[in-house]
Chains A and B, each alone.
Chain A
Amino acid sequence: MKRAILAALGLASSFTLPASAEDIKVGLLLPFSGVYAALGNDIETGFNLALEHFGGETDATFEILKEDTEVKPPVALGKAKKLILQDKVDVMAGIVSSGVLGAVRDLVHGANVPLIVANAGNDEATGANCSPFITRMSFSNGQVNRPMGKWLHDQGIGKVFTLAPDYAAGRQMIDGFVSTFAKAGGKIVGQEFTPFQKTQDFGPYLAKAKASGADAVFVFYAGGEAISFVKQYDSFGLKSDLPLYGSGFLTSPLYVNAEGPAAEGVITALHYVPTIESPANETFAQAFEAKTGRVPSEFAVQGYDAARALIEASKTGANDRETLANALRQVSFEGPRGKLSIDPATNNIVQPIYVYETVMGENGLTQKVLAQLSAEADPANGCEMAPVSK
């Protein structure tokens, strides 16, 4: 019996459709298990939605091969090798964690396989470690927070206390904010970096922030830490005297319901908010809600736009590794986030940043867009690569 099942399994897995001439093989590298599984699922849903919405615009057809990175760099590297060497994919997309991106960077760069990054925000990936084969459709850590520095100072806030987890992303997010806030004339009265994923109780840090004499607190936290932080911030009653600002991941639609009323009134900045008013966003948000019953998160839109970029690239006639890589660097279109383009100097996305407040709406917490801050290309940060070939 066991043998029969195994044989059937073997048959099923070897049964694949013959590739047509215009078939583009896409390797989707995402975490479907482990701590970032929720992010991986959102990105995949967004990715498939874009194929549904825009797939008809191109002559190419796409064959998707999914691999689970498990958010472990060595596992992801093995899966990437399999996709590149065994499945011979034309292009890869995905990557949630910056650690995983760092692990596969040299492989994709050396193998000349284009990779569309759908989350990982490490500044260096489109800075000192940039590659003509890696295009980022999500964000860079600094990019999300830089516009907020000036905006916050313009709101009359002069003294800020910052908090973030002690790892690369936490530091880059805070540095992005601090650089522009200080330039605008603001003063940082205190900074703390909490042990990453080892901090359950933020009480000690909150008491310090309270005693620092700051006008406001600016933080970056994501996932479980964001929920704990926002709830504890509120439970100490700090919100009224010491308003909470931050990077928009703090009150992401993925987590805001778990934060509950504690998140009300928190003002943050991010590259996507589900309540952006534009036809492109309405189409996307409605389709996503119909599929999942949830409002789309920034991760979902990153997956959506990653697939959209791939479709736009294939519309230029690109259909193999080299031509796709080149075409991806010149992609630009109007998506749910607004006008997007890739900066060919770094291969990072150029996009507007939205400042939003979490407010109580009719159906629970929702996002009220306060300002749209104009898109700025990241500084090159030591990125040197060959220009796009026309």
Chain B
Amino acid sequence: MAHDLGFWTLQTLNALQLSMLLFLLSIGLTVIFGLMHFVNLAHGSLYALGAYFAASLAAVGGYWMGFFLAPVAVAGIGILLYSGFIKRMRKSGPMAQVLVTFGLIFALLDLTRIFWGDLALAIEVPSALAGRLDFLGVEYPAYRLFIIVLGVAIFGLLAFVLGRTQIGAMIRAGVDNDAMAACLGINVERMFFVVFCVGCALAGLAGAVAAPLLSVTPDMGLHVLIPTLIVIVIGGLGSLKGAIAGSLIYGFVQTFGAVLAPQLASVLIYALLAAVLVIKPVGLFPARG
């Protein structure tokens, strides 16, 4: 394996890019999970919807319109889901929730097929981010760098909101002990609703960001669900730190697994997941100690 430094820099950037994409997806899911104790398996479908909205909007008003409006549209779908299903399912136990959201995956998949057709859609990378940049001695696609920067920015923003603001303190209180938070006068239910919508919007954003890199197909949500679940199980439920750590672990194991041990590439991450579950079943950085 005689590769030069540039090769490893390139692979590190690849790993970071994948991690950040997964981070955008898993942060929404993990906070909903941690705060509401709600298992939303349809999170991947929201990601797919984000990509479809972005593709449709990009066809009308260019990439940036899709980038900014797709998360809003997906948050709108989130509101529908919340008032239609999730509010009623709050008290019905994890098994019923898993079954309902699992069913939603297939309902949403077929709805996207009906609305947008079976053929794959695509978005072009915006012209400002087309081409490649010289970065640390390697040529790297500008759009991938953009994903890394965006991921870091969203992480920074969420870390600030959750750690330094009153709303963040309320959310953390809700994750820690929702009954006690409610006793202290926090409208926990409304907070759940807002957090759920933000989580949905982030999934939509992830879809809009992934669309130019991948292809927009009805089953893209299904393919991304398992990696997202692995991320939050490794990282620990409900915490920002867990989501970023899980994403980075997933991204690096997947990328360097593919480079160093390609035969094991698809197994490595599952082996790691099993190891984490055996050694530390709550994940590396769970929200509740």
Contact = CB atoms under 8 A, between A and B. Distances in A.
Interface of A: 33, 35, 37-38, 41, 166, 192-195, 197-198, 200-201, 203-205, 207-208, 211, 223-228, 231-232, 235-237, 254-255, 257-261
Interface of B: 3-4, 7, 10-11, 14-15, 17-18, 21, 110, 113, 117-122, 124-125, 132, 139, 141, 143-144, 210, 212-220, 223-224, 226, 254-256, 258-259, 262, 265-266
Q: Which 8 A-B pairs have the closest CB atoms?
A: A227-B215, A203-B14, A38-B118, A195-B266, A258-B122, A204-B258, A224-B217, A235-B141
A228 B265 contact: no
A194 B259 CA distance: 11
Contacts of B220: 224
B144 A211 contact: no
Contacts of B139: 236-237
A104 to B, nearest CB: 23
Contacts of B210: 200
A37 B118 contact: yes
B119 A200 contact: no
A204 B214 contact: no
Contact of A260 (B118, B119, B124): B124
> Helix, strand, loop or mixed for chain B's interface?
helix
15 contacts: A166-B266, A193-B262, A200-B21, A200-B223, A203-B18, A207-B7, A207-B14, A207-B259, A224-B120, A224-B219, A235-B132, A235-B141, A237-B139, A258-B121, A260-B122
Nearest to B212: A231
Given A33-B113, A195-B266, A211-B3, A227 B125 contact: no
A215 B245 CA distance: 39
Given A35-B218, A235-B213, 18 more contacts: A35-B217, A37-B118, A192-B258, A201-B14, A204-B256, A204-B259, A207-B7, A208-B259, A223-B217, A224-B217, A227-B215, A232-B213, A235-B143, A235-B144, A236-B132, A255-B119, A255-B215, A258-B121
B58 to A, nearest CB: 12
Nearest to A36: B118
B252 to A, nearest CB: 11
Contacts of A203: 10-11, 14, 17-18, 144, 255
A228 B215 contact: yes
Contacts of A201: 14, 17-18, 213, 254-255
Nearest to B13: A203
Nearest to B4: A211
A205 B219 CA distance: 23
A194 B117 CA distance: 27
Nearest to B22: A200
Given A35-B219, A38-B118, A208-B259, A235 B125 contact: yes
B132 A237 contact: yes
A232 B21 CA distance: 15
Chain A CB within 10 A, most for which of B7, B117, B213, B258: B258
Contact of A33 (B10, B110, B143, B254): B110
Contacts of B4: 211
B121 A228 contact: no
A12 B261 CA distance: 59
B224 A200 contact: yes
B229 to A, nearest CB: 13
B120 A255 contact: yes
Given A200-B214, A201-B17, A232-B213, A223 B258 contact: no
A228 B219 CA distance: 14
A254 B10 contact: no
A228 B262 contact: no
Contacts of B254: 201, 204
Most chain A beta carbons < 10 A, residue from B15, B21, B266: B266
Given A227-B214, A258-B119, A204 B11 contact: yes
B120 A258 contact: yes
A235 B123 CA distance: 13
A192 B124 CA distance: 28
Contacts of B15: 204
Contacts of A192: 258, 262
B148 to A, nearest CB: 12
A143 B217 CA distance: 29
B268 to A, nearest CB: 10
Given A38-B118, A203-B255, A228 B213 contact: yes
A208 to B, nearest CB: 6
Contacts of A258: 119-122, 215-216
Contact of A195 (B3, B7, B17, B265): B265
A254 B17 contact: no
Given A228-B214, A231-B213, A205 B223 contact: no
Contacts of A231: 122, 212-215
